[in-house]
A and B are shown apart, each in its own frame.
Chain A
Amino acid sequence: MKVYEKAPSFYEVFERKSGPAKQATHYCPGCGHGNVHKMIAEALADMELTSRTVLISPVGCSVFAYYYFDCGNSQAAHGRAPAVATGVKRANPDSIVISYQGDGDLAAIGTAETIHAANRGENITVFFINNAIYGMTGGQMAPTTMIGQRSTTTPLGRQEHLHGNPVRMCEMLATLPAPTYIERVGLGNSKQIMKTRKAIRKALKIQAEGKGYSFVEILSPCPTGWKMDPEVAREWVSKEMEQVFPLGVYKDESGNVDEGSWDRTFKPFDTDEVNTYLQRMKTSMTEGEDVVLKEDLRCKFAGFGGQGILTLGLFLSQIGMRAGRQVSWFPAYGPEMRGGTANCSVNLSNERIGSPLVDEPNVLVVMNQPSLDAFEKTVPDGGTIIVDTTIVEGKPDAERLNAVLIPASQIADEVGTPKIANVVILGALAAATGAFTPEFCMDTLRSVIKKKNLIDMNMEAFQKGYEFVKNM
């Protein structure tokens, strides 16, 4: 006996639905979403995949798919379903992950995610419902809207010279080497519907076998958006849409790919590996001793990108860590790798640190004029300001602040390269604050500087900076 009925992969009752018919979907009469939902639910049940399936709902009419499918569900921001699907699949490699999307979501707002998930060959299944308009928002032009097709935003019909041509996703994705299976099917008549059923099952099978990325585009009617009776809309799918979006298999490598070959397993927490790494980090630094700070250091280091401002912050942080202090380092910089402004906030404290941001630094280092102009006034009375006078022309208020003026870049140049002006500054900072002994700082530098042939030069730079301030 054969019985065609509601698949057990659907919830018994659709809670979202208001009114008496709580087992009916929210879709309009004649909408294609219901057909595809039914065929997916049937396939999941028949293939015994329901319990390990995670369906990612998009934004669009099908946003409420999680009210229908009795499986794992998640809902993504507009267009991002393939990215979310990637994460779910990699974190749960045994799951069956379905990215269910419409054409506005997949081919406009999420084009990037769509293409890159396909290009990576993620072992997920994408069901792409193409109805040639933005349905949920009221029938605006979509990337897939056809030339001449009227929508609320193309009342005279889509025109090539104004709006471009409809985007054919299957054809585009089929040019990529990674995808395993790409097919376009339709819901225009019974024959097409049965082919769609077959394609849905094939796509899910490919994923279940670990054979990689599968993509099924389904030409689907939107009677409401198209302003047609349901039956006329079905006909329009097979007569009009098919002309622009030809049905067929665009790529099928499923016969040439080994089962399980698309392993993208991501293991986020292998504790052994993490501990080994941390141990290595710890032992790379020589044993330190606890140093109690007389006063917490709230530092702001500022200058051009490329001067080693952020590295200076890291060095001081590492000295603090080795001294057993609480430490934070927080960089802020523009998009330029060189020449833009850069600054970082560094906290060294005997107590736990609340915020890594430093708004009122008691130690300010400025290595260019704009930084002096911007930050001098943020230093409270009696705070320390260290200025690289080789570069900065202006002078800080020496009456209000403990001003340390040092030609750091020139000293560094004399040592060997102006690139180590930041280490000269570090020496000056150690002398000016007296927080750590020069030996303690230099021991730390020795263990954290990666290029060992540069250690001597850095030691000299540090010492010159330290002595310059001591002799002031």
Chain B
Amino acid sequence: MPNNTAVDAPFMEVNPELCKGCQLCLGVCPKSVIAISDKLNSASYHPAYYTGSDCTGCGLCYYACPEPGAIRVVKP
């Protein structure tokens, strides 16, 4: 998870509890910076997560994601 106090690079973040592991965000990410966790969340899904660098803040993952609150993208 990036440090929000000093944002200078774009990033995306996933709320692991709200993610249902559909992987649609992986498919649309032009930079392939999203991956699927080995861990299960409390609803028994493998949530997506940001690998930590190279996000361009394009927002495509946000719109591909069906969950209102699962993905947040910040583009400074």
A residues at B contact (CB < 8 Å): 1-7, 10, 19-21, 23-25, 27-35, 37-39, 41, 68, 189-190, 193-194, 197, 223, 229-231, 234
**Does the CB pair A1–B75 fall under 8 Å?**
yes
**Does the CB pair B42–A3 fall under 8 Å?**
no
Contact (A230, B17) CB under 8 Å given A2-B75, A24-B69, A27-B66: no
Contact (A190, B43) CB under 8 Å given A23-B18, A29-B22: no
Q: How far is the CB of B5 from chain A (nearest CB, A)?
A: 14
**Does the CB pair B72–A3 fall under 8 Å?**
yes
Q: How far is the CB of A32 from chain B (nearest CB, A)?
A: 7
**Residues of the B chain whose Cβ atoms lie less than 8 Å from the Cβ of A37:** 68
Q: How far is the CB of A8 from chain B (nearest CB, A)?
A: 11
Complex alpha-carbon distance, A19 and B21, angstroms: 17
Complex alpha-carbon distance, A39 and B59, angstroms: 13
Q: How far is the CB of A294 from chain B (nearest CB, A)?
A: 73
Q: Which 10 A-B pairs have the closest CB atoms?
A: A34-B66, A29-B20, A4-B62, A30-B22, A29-B22, A230-B22, A4-B73, A6-B69, A2-B75, A5-B72
**Does the CB pair B18–A24 fall under 8 Å?**
yes
**Residues of the B chain whose Cβ atoms lie less than 8 Å from the Cβ of A5:** 62, 69, 72-73
**Does the CB pair B24–A30 fall under 8 Å?**
yes
User: Which residue of B has the minimal Cβ distance to A33?
Assistant: B66
Q: Total A-B pairs in contact (CB under 8 Å)?
A: 105
**Does the CB pair B68–A41 fall under 8 Å?**
yes
What are 19 of the A-B contact pairs (CB < 8 Å)? A2-B74, A4-B59, A4-B62, A4-B73, A4-B74, A4-B75, A6-B69, A6-B72, A7-B68, A20-B42, A21-B41, A23-B17, A24-B67, A29-B22, A34-B65, A34-B67, A35-B65, A38-B65, A231-B27
Complex alpha-carbon distance, A34 and B74, angstroms: 21
**Count, chain B residues at interface, CB 8 A:** 33
User: Which residue of A has the minimal Cβ distance to B29?
Assistant: A190
**Does the CB pair B63–A197 fall under 8 Å?**
yes
B residues at A contact (CB < 8 Å): 7, 15, 17-18, 20-24, 27-28, 41-43, 45, 57, 59-60, 62-76
**Does the CB pair A4–B66 fall under 8 Å?**
no
User: Which residue of B has the minimal Cβ distance to A235?
Assistant: B27
**Does the CB pair A35–B63 fall under 8 Å?**
yes
Contact of B43 (CB < 8 Å), options: A20, A197, A231 = A20
**Residues of the A chain whose Cβ atoms lie less than 8 Å from the Cβ of B22:** 29-30, 223, 230-231
Complex alpha-carbon distance, A25 and B67, angstroms: 7
**Residues of the B chain whose Cβ atoms lie less than 8 Å from the Cβ of A223:** 22
Q: Which of B7, B20, B45, B75 has the most CB of A within 10 A?
A: B20
Complex alpha-carbon distance, A33 and B27, angstroms: 19
Contact (A1, B43) CB under 8 Å given A190-B63, A230-B22, A234-B24: no
Q: How far is the CB of A14 from chain B (nearest CB, A)?
A: 8
- Contacts A2-B59, A31-B66 aside, 8 further interface pairs with beta carbons under 8 A come to A5-B72, A24-B18, A28-B20, A29-B45, A29-B66, A35-B66, A38-B68, A231-B22
Complex alpha-carbon distance, A21 and B62, angstroms: 19
**Does the CB pair A24–B43 fall under 8 Å?**
yes
User: Which residue of B has the minimal Cβ distance to A41?
Assistant: B68
Contact (A190, B57) CB under 8 Å given A20-B43, A231-B27: no
**Residues of the B chain whose Cβ atoms lie less than 8 Å from the Cβ of A29:** 20-22, 45, 66
**Does the CB pair B63–A1 fall under 8 Å?**
no
**Does the CB pair A25–B66 fall under 8 Å?**
yes
Complex alpha-carbon distance, A234 and B28, angstroms: 11
**Residues of the A chain whose Cβ atoms lie less than 8 Å from the Cβ of B20:** 24, 28-30
**Does the CB pair A21–B68 fall under 8 Å?**
no
**Residues of the B chain whose Cβ atoms lie less than 8 Å from the Cβ of A68:** 68
Contact of A194 (CB < 8 Å), options: B63, B66, B69 = B63
**Residues of the B chain whose Cβ atoms lie less than 8 Å from the Cβ of A24:** 17-18, 20, 43, 67, 69-70
User: Which residue of A has the minimal Cβ distance to B60?
Assistant: A190
**Residues of the A chain whose Cβ atoms lie less than 8 Å from the Cβ of B65:** 34-35, 38
**Does the CB pair B18–A231 fall under 8 Å?**
no
**Residues of the A chain whose Cβ atoms lie less than 8 Å from the Cβ of B60:** 190
**Does the CB pair B45–A35 fall under 8 Å?**
no
**Does the CB pair B63–A234 fall under 8 Å?**
no
**Does the CB pair B27–A4 fall under 8 Å?**
no
**Does the CB pair A230–B75 fall under 8 Å?**
no
**Residues of the B chain whose Cβ atoms lie less than 8 Å from the Cβ of A234:** 24, 27
User: Which residue of A has the minimal Cβ distance to B7?
Assistant: A1
**Does the CB pair A231–B24 fall under 8 Å?**
yes
**Does the CB pair A190–B28 fall under 8 Å?**
yes
